[in-house]
Each structure stands twice: as C-alpha cells, then as structure tokens.
Amino acid sequence: MCGIFAYKGQKTNAAQLVVNGLKKLEYRGYDSWGIAFKTGHKVSIYKEIGKIGEFDISTLKEKVDGPINGHMAMGHSRWATHGGVTQENAHPHYSQDKTIAVVHNGIIENFEELKTELKEKGYKFRSETDTEVISHLIQKYKSLGPVDAVKKALSRLRGRYAVLVLCAEDDRLIAARRGSPLIVGKGENEFFIASDIPAFLEYTRKVMYLDDNQMVVINNDAEFFDLETNKKIDKRIVKIDWSPESAEKGEFPHFMIKEITEQKETIARAINQDEKQFMKIANEIKNAYGTYLVGCGTAGKVCLTGSYLFAKIAKRHVNVTFGSEFPSLQDFITDRSLVIAVSQSGETADTLEAIEVAKGKKAKVLSIINVEGSSMDRISDYAINIKAGPEKAVASTKATTAQLAILTLLAYALDNRLEEGKILLVNTASQINDMLNPRYEDHILNLAKKIKDVESMYVIGKGVNYPIALEAAIKLQEVSYIHAEGFAGGELKHGPIALINDGVPCVVIVANDETKQETISNAIEVKSRGGYIIGIAPENNNIFDYWIKVPEVGEASPIVNIIPIQILAYQLAILRKNNPDMPRNLAKSVTVK
C-alpha cells in the first residue's frame, strides 16, 4: 500500500524522474500524491488529490515558486489509512519549520500520544496523518544532526514503517524501514529508492534490499546501518532478471488483461524449478509435525485450494489459515511445524507477522513468492519463486495460477510423482495457450453484456474447485463492484439458496471428477428457483444457460477454471466503466495491518 520513490544522483531533473517513478507505482495507491525536491538549501513540496497518471511536469513549473531543477527528490502515492483524502493529508509532510520533508508507508501505532506530546511543546499540525509526527520529531532532535535526528525520531515510533527524509540543510537522502518494503537501486553515479522494483527498472536492475530496523544514507555512495546497534552493514548487490518491458502495458489497454494473457507463459515458467529443491521441500512436509498453509486474500484462497490438492494427490492433511488469523493458532506451532506462506509481493504485512510467530516458535518456513529478495524471501528457510514477472494490476491473475501450479507440483512431489505432475502442468500450460484467444474473450464478453447490470451473483464449486468459487467471487467484487459470493455447492440448501430469485446469475464450476454429478445437482437446485446458470466446464450440459468451455486437465482444473472468471471480471469492469487496474479502496500490496 502506498508507493515511495526517490532519486539522488547527477541528473538535474530529479523531480521529473520522481514523477515518472510514481506513475509506475500508482497501483500501490492512488488517493493522492506528492513530491518533495531540493534546490539549493530549500526543500519544496507539491501535492495533489487523485491520480498522478496524467500529470505533466510543466504543471509543476507553473505552480511552484522558484526553480524545480535539482539532483535530489522524493515522492509518494497514497492509499489513505490515517486521515481522509485531502491535499493536506497527502505526502510529503513538512516539519514545522519547513526545513525537513518526510514520506512514509505504514502505520505509526503510538502517533496519538506522540502528537499530544508535540502539541504541548508548541508544534502545529497541518494534517490528520500519523506521518506528520515523524517530521516534527526529526525537527525536535535537529541539534543532533540530520542522521542522528532521524535515528532518534524512529526510536520513538511503534508500528511498521518505511520512511524517507529530505533536509534543506543537508545533501544526503535518508531512508529506513521496519515492516514496510524499501529497495535501493544502484545506477551509474546515481541511486533510487522505491517500495517496488518496477519504479526504477528502466534505469537499473542492480538492487540492494533494506531489512527491518535498517537505515540507508545516500550521498556519493549508499551507507547502510543497523538502527539497533548503530553498526555499518555491507550490502550485497542483487541483479534482477525482469526486463523493463515486462513492467509496461505495451499494446494492452490495461495491465489486468495483459497479465491474464501472460498466463500462456507464466505457468510454464513457474514449474521450471530445481527438482532437487522440490523433493527436499517435499521431504520437509513429510517429516513435519503439522504443516500450515498461510496467505491473505487471493493467496489465502490459493492456500485453501492447496489443502485440497495435498489431500487428493498426496493423501496428506495440511492446515489452512489466513495470515491475520495465524497468531490465534500459535499454541499449536512447535519446532517440528512447517509453515508454507504464499504471497505475490512477499511483503504482505499479516503474512509476515505469521512468519514472525512461526520463527519465534522455531518452526521452519517455506515462502512461495513472486519477488526475489522480498522480505518473505529473505527471512524464510526455503523460498520458491513463481517467476510470474511483475504483476501490477491490483487484482491478481497470473500470480494466482502460478501459485496454484507450484502447490500442485509440491503435492505430486510429496507423493513421489514429481515428473507426472510436471507433465500434467506442461500440458495445462499448452491448453491455456490454445484457450486464450480473441474468440474466447469475445464469447465471455457476450456474457458480460448480458449480466453487466445485475446487483448480485453467486459462484458454486465442490471439492478442489470450492476455493476457486471463493476466489472467483473475489475477482468479481474487486473490479466489477458487483456483489458476488462463493459457496460450496452442497451448502446452498443450508441457507444461501434463499438469495436466489428469477434471473440471478450463478456461475457453476464443474470439473470432470468425483464431484461432477453433485455439482450438476446443485445447479439444478438453483435453476429450479429461477437462477441463470453459467457453466464453466469441459463439457456442455442442458442445465447451463451459458456455457464457457475449459480444457480437461485432471487435477489441474483449478488453474483453468479461474481464468474465464478473470476475463469475465475484467470485461464487466470495462462495461461498468471501472478501471480494472485500480479498483476503488484497494491497493496492490497490503503492507499495513
């Protein structure tokens, strides 16, 4: 949540670079935005409500009193947590004397008491945010010097944060993190700091990661410090294998449809893994005294699907919980437990907290992530990179199916049938390649036109496709804003069927497995109450009012069955004039609790 970008180097158009970087991070927050830039011994701030996408740097030249050229600037795109969406609440935030500017991701849990303390000392607040206490605290300790003042201010904070600081009287860029991601990009005689790699990917692929309770001070070089011990840290430079083009829309109108289409390749990439590593992890699962799949949102539904896959393919029971609920189960965790954490970004706050709980109990942790070097990657005992490439649409698509592919492969590895699993998933990727074509999308678009004005719709599935029904409902909610709910087919008669009346769309996910006949029976129950039945299945059935064909892929059915729902959600969003890449009230990486 929220995007941070900063530049320090030899170029004199730092403000322009920061604006461009924020545009690439807008998927992380788009309530408001702002930049701070340094010219001489002055820090200027400019901020606006709304999206930065169409902003032109010439507007800045017209509205700012004085020059805007300089070698150092920073900016922030906001997803509101404390305080409404106003220009005053947008970042950056000044200190009272306007010599210090701060941008911040995260939540300061003790900001009310700090604010009261500062007010009693005469500090005036211009916003409702928790962030403004940071800039005022730094001013309070200004006599210590910029770096030590920042350290002292940070020592007073409780909660998660990523903080960047510009000081009018100092030429260094200062940044620190605890719980919220910050990544340093190293170019030729220049440095970038961002909350996500795509912001600076066109300039450099060399990165250094800030870990929790670490600070970086950038001048002619980048110096890293441990905030607790004050000792300097040597950082390894990691080269990212993403191309700049992979983080752009290219010929596609939106990232969401681009990323849906990329599933032709991403599933094949996901399963191209080190077989020895997979078998080693499978052995850890076999020897664990309790295995827990943990994720949030869509990743949580992937985890639930994984529990069915492990049971069906490997005859192995695993526990499933959302990251936010995991601390309530910690009494069951021991040093023989294994936690499998799933996250696209590798920075999901609740999942990171679950890992911290697990590590505190000395349990082993496997993370399934899409960002090499992310927080989850670095703190886990094992990590599997799903290799989906940058995913910028808020609604996850290609990362979801890549995660499902990894869990399917792990289930086969656990049953000593890894090669069989790989053959299945290679075949699945090939069938998806045939499936994703303009004619298929047009067929789903015709359905979207029929149902675009409905208020509610429902999705049912059974067995391994029950969690896919839940995930399908999330996709529809996220971008179409239609009230959608997913149910286990057999649960309809226990209450939800009361919601069905004439014309209500109900998506029925039917796999050619042991649940097929029961799922069709559930669809008949809905049809008899007037429901409009949309069948997602390898074969047509008389009960379907509209049939969307999917390939027959056996145990990989969850992967192919979610894809038409992704396309439907996208088409509905367009027809309802929503931006599918930036749905209201949502941001891509949930890095706050």
In terms of domains, do 7 and 141 share one? Answer: yes
pLDDT > 90? residue 459: yes
Enumerate the active-site residues. 2, 588
Picking from 518, 480, 482, 523, the residue whose alpha carbon sits closest to that of residue 500 is: 523
pLDDT > 70? residue 393: yes
| pLDDT score, position 246 | 65
In terms of domains, do 74 and 96 share one? Answer: yes
In terms of domains, do 405 and 456 share one? Answer: no
Residue 501's pLDDT band, with cuts at 50, 70 and 90, is confident
In terms of domains, do 216 and 268 share one? Answer: no
In terms of domains, do 452 and 548 share one? Answer: yes
Note the pLDDT tens digit of each residue in 78-112. Answer: 877 767 888 888 889 999 999 999 999 888 989 89
Is 43 within a domain?
Answer: yes
Alpha helices in 392-465 (DSSP H): 398-414, 418-435, 438-451
State which of 403, 435, 467 marks the end of a domain.
435
In terms of domains, do 175 and 295 share one? Answer: no
| pLDDT score, position 523 | 94
Cβ atoms 409, 278 nearer than 8 A: yes
Note the pLDDT tens digit of each residue in 155-190. Answer: 999 988 899 999 998 999 999 998 888 899 999 999
CATH (domain of 297): 3.40.50.10490
Tell me the mean pLDDT in the region 358-370.
96
In terms of domains, do 351 and 333 share one? Answer: yes
Here the tokens at position 431 are 């069938």
Residue 562's pLDDT band, with cuts at 50, 70 and 90, is very high
State which of 371, 404, 435 marks the end of a domain.
435
Note the pLDDT tens digit of each residue in 399-410. Answer: 999 999 999 999
Q: Give the CA count within 13 Å in the CB-facing half-sphere of 16.
A: 11
Domains contained in the chain, number: 3
Q: Considering the entire predicted model, what is its pTM?
A: 0.79
Range of the domain at 360: 250-435
State which of 408, 435, 462 marks the end of a domain.
435
Tell me the mean pLDDT in the region 275-302.
94
Average pLDDT of every residue of the chain: 91
Picking from 52, 57, 45, the residue whose alpha carbon sits closest to that of residue 100 is: 45
pLDDT > 80? residue 245: no
Note the pLDDT tens digit of each residue in 383-392. Answer: 999 999 989 8
pLDDT > 70? residue 587: no
| pLDDT score, position 123 | 93
Range with lowest mean pLDDT among 239-243, 490-494, 540-544, 549-553: 239-243
In terms of domains, do 219 and 105 share one? Answer: yes
CATH (domain of 84): 3.60.20.10
Q: What percent of the chain has pLDDT over 70?
A: 97
Alpha carbons 277 and 406: distance in angstroms, whole number: 12
In terms of domains, do 431 and 441 share one? Answer: no
Is 593 within a domain?
Answer: no
In terms of domains, do 164 and 225 share one? Answer: yes
The DSSP bridge pattern shows strands 206-209 and 238-239 to be antiparallel
